[in-house]
Amino acid sequence: MAHSITIELFSASACNRCGEAKKRVQAIVEEFGEDAVLYRELDVLEELDYAVSLGVLTTPAIAINGELVFTAIPSLKRMRDELQKRLAGP
């Protein structure tokens, strides 16, 4: 089965909040299952051109399916709701 959702977490080594964002995203991936969600963690400096193309200005930032969705750490409920909406389709 192909992944339905791709979550990308943009982080930086000097980011104090990125560890908490990573924990929340990993919890959501576990909840939905790795068959449904592909998780990628990206260093914003190593992926600078891609990050800029999405509009990432600060870390942590979370993109879903190539679209910048969260520019701060969202609650688990907000992330869950966003993924459920995207999995349900149009």
Residues 73, 24: contact at Cβ < 8 Å?
Answer: yes
Separation between Cα atoms, residue 12 and residue 35, nearest integer Å: 27
Residues above pLDDT 70, as percent of the chain: 96
Confidence class of residue 4 from pLDDT cuts 50, 70 and 90?
A: confident
- Show the tokens assigned to 11: 């982080």
Tell me the average pLDDT of the chain. Answer: 92
Domain extents in the chain: 5-88
- CATH architecture under which domain 5-88 falls: 3-Layer(aba) Sandwich (3.40)
Confidence class of residue 86 from pLDDT cuts 50, 70 and 90?
A: confident
| Cα end-to-end span (Å), the chain | 20
- pTM more than 0.75: yes
Mean pLDDT of 5-15: 94
The β-bridge partners of 6 are 38
Mean pLDDT of 38-60: 96
